[in-house]
Amino acid sequence: MANIKSSKKRIITNIKRKIYNKKCKSKIKNIIRKIKNFISVNNKKESLKHFFYLQPIIDRYSTYGIIHKNKSSRCKSRLIKKIFKM
């Protein structure tokens, strides 16, 4: 257990950041799951709509450091390839 006041505060802020990061990552995963479902049904219009909704969110979270920038670009490129392959 931490004895110093700053380390106690650090523990609390780490927990808050962990919850926020988990929420953000699950939001991205849910949108990607929706896009993949639309791709499997061959619904190009809906998948593009959700992709253009997802794109700025992924970019924002990669600048915050929640997701690595290479992972964000890899996700976007793989999804758009699958969409245009339909």
CATH of domain 5-85: 1.20.58.110
Q: What does the domain layout of the chain look like in residue ranges?
A: 5-85
Question: Could you give the 3-state DSSP secondary structure of residue 42?
Answer: coil
Question: In angstroms, rounded to a whole number, what is the distance separating the alpha carbons of residues 59 and 45?
Answer: 22
User: Residue holding tokens 């390839």?
Assistant: 81
Q: What is the pLDDT of residues 67-86, one digit of tens each?
A: 999 999 999 999 999 999 88
Would you state the structure tokens that stand for residue 33, as one six-digit string? 């799951």
Question: In angstroms, rounded to a whole number, what is the distance separating the alpha carbons of residues 24 and 60?
Answer: 10
Assign 3-state DSSP to the chain and report helix, strand, coil percentages, each to 5: 85, 0, 15
Total-model pTM: 0.83
Question: In angstroms, rounded to a whole number, what is the distance separating the alpha carbons of residues 48 and 65?
Answer: 25
Q: What is the pLDDT of residues 9-56, one digit of tens each?
A: 999 999 999 999 999 999 999 999 999 999 999 999 999 999 999 999
Looking at the predicted structure, is the pLDDT value of residue 1 above 80? no
